[in-house]
Every structure is written in C-alpha cells, then in structure tokens.
Amino acid sequence: MTPRQVLFGGTAVLAVLTLLPLVVGANVIDKLTGLFILMLLAAMWGLMAGQAGLVSVGQQAFFGLGGYFALRLVDGGFSAYPALLAGAVGAAAVAWVMSFFLLRLKDGEFAIATWVVAEVIRILVMLDPLVQGETGTSLLALNAVEPALRRNLGYGFALVSLAAMLLAVWWLMRSPVGTASRALGDDDEAAASLGVRVMSTRRAVYVLAAFGCALAGVAWLASAVTFLPRTNFGVQWSVLMLFMVLVGGLRSLAGPIVGALLLFTLQESLGDFGVWYLAGVGALAALFALFLPQGLVGLWQERRARQAAQAASAAAPPPADASTPVNPTRSIST
C-alpha cells in the first residue's frame, strides 16, 4: 500500500472509532479501551525488539510511572486529564536519563537490568505516603467526572494515544532513524562500522517506546481510577507485550496489532478459566517460538512472497531455444 492509502485508511478507521460511543453501550467501550491499551503496549515493544533489537522485560516501569506522576501532579493542583499527559511525558524524561546507563548493556544484561530497575522504581514509589504502599490509592479527581463522560474520555484518550503512537512508529520506520535502528537490530557492530550512530538511534527508539508505554499506563489509570503498585508496575505487562509481538510478528507494524487482537480474543473467551487460561497462553507462546518464530504476519508475508514469485515465474516468457524451434529446411540467403 502507498503512504497515501495507509493514511487515508487509518483516518477512516479513526473516524469510525471516534463516533462509536454514540451507538454502542458502556461494556463495549470498556472492552475497546482495554484493547487499545494492549495494542499500544504491543506496538511499543515491537518497535524496541523488532526494529532496534532491544529486548526489555522492564517496560512496566514506564506503564506505572506515568500513572504515578499523574497522581503526584493532581495532588499538586493539576487538572486530572492534563496531568495524565504530563505524567506520560515525565516517564519519558526518566527513560531518557536511564538510557545513558541501560543502553550500554547488551542482550541478556540489558533485559535483566530493565527488570531490576523496574522493581527498584516500584519499591521507591511504594515508599511515597501518597501511594500508601501495597494498599495503593485512587485518582480521586476523576470521581468528580460523571461516569459516562469519564468512560468516553478514557476511551478517547486511549484511542488518540494509540493513533498518535502508531503514526509515530510508521513515520519512524520510514525515516533514516528507522533504517538505522533496523540495521542495529540485525548487527549493531556492522551498523556502527557503516557510520550508524548506535547510542543516539537506540535512545530515540527507547524513549519513544517508554512514552508509548506511559501513555498506556495513564490510559489504564483513567479507566480503572485505582492505582495499585503491584498491578501498575507488574511484570505481567511486559509478559503480555512479549506474547503479543511473538505471536503477531516482530518485524512489522501490523504484527503486534494482530497479536493484541489474538490476546484480547483469548482473554474474552478463556479468561474465566483462570490459571488454565494463563497456562494456555504460555503454551501458545512456546509453540510459536519453536515452530513459527516469524509470527502470523510473518507467515502471511512469506506466503505472499512465494505466491508473487510463482506468479512472476509463470508469467515469464520461455527460453528462446525452447520457444523457437530450428527449421532444418530453411536455407541461408546469400
């Protein structure tokens, strides 16, 4: 698809989803808000791992920090919804500072360090009297908003955040930074030898992904109202990101979205089975890792490529010696 077609199609879908609260009930709005949050998380983790080769298991730090900063800003006198956006910006600023230390690590060291840092941040947040430790707290300013309006505003916030970040990722993947990040994901040493600015490129990807995860966190807070450190900073968010990207496909923008849709479907159909649902999700992720590492979108792309190659081969003219037989009776004119 051409860039114009992508933008036109995305704008049309956004317009339909914007008007959806006028025709559907509260339950549908709540479920779609949750789906948008999953899609946003998946797209951010796919950007990091699929494009720049940064495998993090600590993105829940920014999911929780966005909500925590929003709580602090509201406690300091900010209005609730501007505080949500400002909280996400604050989390991105923390990610920028952290990047100077974390991005010096590679592979497993980086993954473990991100998880350790996320746990340290969670513990520090729990020490804040405003949060009340494991008890948590609520963004009470949102309770002053009429429930139906609050639900629709939360839906709109999640939808706009998802659309903005998908547009940012799509633009980034088509920019020189995106080309450099893909080169780093393939072989960082070879990319550096070709002049790619390793740290600045990875920092741009890391901070953008952190901002997207923080937006997902504040969208979750706007919907749930309650802030619980063990939930908002829970490692399950990174596990879900990994599952969605692994199943959907790493190296494309569509892969994480497909993975989020599949996870959402599993949650809605099998979520009542409790631990068996979690076991099934884990088993499905293991099967994809072993037998379909390219994910569903990668499988579809490979199939399309094979079909295109077969069609091109069938349309090609046969070799000249096979299509033009030699006439032994034909004489050579002089």
Once rounded to an integer, what is the mean pLDDT over residues 114-126? 95
Name the DSSP class of 226: E
Give the ranges where 175-197 is alpha helix by DSSP (H). Answer: 176-186, 188-193
* Residues linked to residue 153 through DSSP beta bridges, in sequence order: none
| Model confidence pLDDT, tens digit, residues 174-215 | 888 777 777 776 667 777 776 777 788 889 999 999 999 999
Sign of the four-CA dihedral 310, 289, 235, 102? negative
- Rg (Cα) of the chain, in Å, rounded? 24
Once rounded to an integer, what is the mean pLDDT over residues 324-329? 51
Whether the pLDDT of residue 277 is over 80: the answer is no
* Residues linked to residue 176 through DSSP beta bridges, in sequence order: none
Once rounded to an integer, what is the mean pLDDT over residues 157-183? 88
What integer pLDDT is reported at residue 1 of this predicted model?
65
What integer pLDDT is reported at residue 331 of this predicted model?
44
Contact 203, 103 (CB under 8 A): yes
Taking all residues of the chain, what is their mean pLDDT, rounded to a whole number? Answer: 87
- Report pTM: 0.88
Question: CB under 8 Å, gap of 24 or more: what pairs does 184-191 form?
Answer: 184/52, 184/53, 185/50, 185/51, 185/52, 185/53, 186/53, 188/53, 188/106
**Nearest 5°: phi and psi at 12?**
-65, -45
| Model confidence pLDDT, tens digit, residues 75-88 | 998 999 999 999 99
Q: Give the pLDDT band (50/70/90) at residue 91.
A: very high
d(CA 312, CA 93): 50
Whether the pLDDT of residue 310 is over 90: the answer is no
Half-sphere exposure of 118 (CA within 13 A, CB side): 28
**Nearest 5°: phi and psi at 137?**
-150, -175
Whether the pLDDT of residue 92 is over 80: the answer is yes
